[in-house]
Amino acid sequence: QVDVAREQETMIPEASVLFDVAFEDDDIVVVDKPAGLVVHPGAGRPSGTLANGLLARYPQIADLSSEHRWGIVHRIDRDTSGLLIVGKNAAALDYLRTALERREVTREYRALVAGRFASATGTIDAPIGRDPADPTRMAVVDTGRPARTHYQRLSEWDDTDVSLASVVLETGRTHQIRVHMRSIGHPVVGDPVYGRKRTTQGDPGRTWLHATSLTFKHPSGSGPMTVRSGLPEDLAASLVRLGEPTRGSGR
């Protein structure tokens, strides 16, 4: 039997880590994360993360420790932009994490994907786990955890083989939207891992995925609320380059 002492994670507050706040009160912060910003420290990345920036702006979350991820309720991928919730205290964090587990938090995204949908709406219900051929990636596998994604086509272009979709997560598996959209032949434009290898029209130079709205009950019990985020400049500019859609609004 070997007892190995767990190394204590030391978080350094970093005011240089920039992010916008879409909503804030005494209990919660809804962060509007820019693309390229990692949410949590990890192997090889001990600093420069959203958690470091949060600790600089909200020193009280240090009490929530690394075990509780410094108040971060859920995360989004580095190259995905948009909204995520942070609890400022233990009670708010526990409440929101329980709500997430009960699927009482609605997370909506905008995604530009390759190809055109055969139907305007759909649900992808397929388990996600580690890719047996490459453990650094995720895939739809029989032994994976249950995962469900709903999508609705918003726009399409007759002269361009891409579609804009609203995507709602029912579960929150790693890379869920990216893996599920690939599994039905509509990989997210610009995705360097699960996307098409050739250049696709509308490619912004990063994964075209934005967490655009969150709907949830506030920890105070004041009732449901919705926080929204508009498209960042790079994604909005890529839609402008595509021109007016043949069908839909382009947003």
Tokens of 162: 């891409």
Annotated active-site residue 234? The verdict is no
The residues with which 85 forms a beta bridge, in sequence order, are: 30
Residue 6 DSSP code:
P
Q: How many residues are listed for the chain in this entry?
A: 251
Largest CA distance in the chain: 66
Identify the active-site residue in 32, 77, 79, 191.
Answer: 77
Helical (H) or strand (E) element with 55: helix 50-57
What is the signed CA dihedral for 112, 116, 120, 122, rounded to 10 degrees?
A: -80
Q: Give the distance from CA 44 to its chain's centroid.
A: 21
Positions annotated as catalytic residues are 77
